[in-house]
Amino acid sequence: MIVRDGQVLARGRNLGRTNGDPTAHGEMIAIRRCLADHGTAALQGSTLYTSGEPCVMCMGAILWCRIGRLVFAASVQQIAAKMDEIMISSADVAAKARFVPITITGGVLADEALRLFAKPVERLSPAKSRRGGSDPSSKVLSAVPQWVSWQGGRADRLLSV
């Protein structure tokens, strides 16, 4: 979710499996939607909230868009216990781009967010997947939009971080 001046500009969720697009991570979808609806200037200095620490690809996009603040729940290390993950933190990527100031806050509601990520599952072979085998993690990942729009004040807790 991308927020600027208390207003939600865009939301995104992981659509990689749904769209067959490995770049369709939630952060990328939110950035694309924000660009389409509000233009480049809206991203500059905004805050991006996400259930999982951004991967290297997403963090690169966050930096190039000049997003000013990143708030994430589960860390790369925590997510790696549940699914495949490139083991490079967002802080490590940001440290290599010193020309882009960004504030990073991690671990916000991490335990709650971790429940959204898939538990280790037996990997389907490409042949089985083409025959209609289902990936149980897709149901869990589809819950991400609910994480960024909780009821009962939890979103307020997140947005106040």
For 111-148, letters b (16+ CB in 10 Å) and e give eebbebbbeeeeeeeeeeeeeeeeeebeebbeebeebb
Catalytic residue among 27, 53, 85, 122: 27
The residues, any chain, with a CB within 8 Å of residue 80's CB and separated by 6 or more, are 87
CA distances from 6 to 45, 67, 118, 144, 158 (A): 12, 15, 31, 20, 12
Angle at 147 between CA 144 and CA 148, to 5 degrees: 100
What single DSSP character describes residue 125?
A: P
How far is Cα of residue 69 from the mean position of the Cα atoms in its chain? 13
From the list 109, 66, 59, the residue with the least C-alpha distance to 85 is 59
Name the one residue in this structure whose structure tokens are 């769209």: 19
Whether 85 is catalytic: no
Residues serving a catalytic function are 27
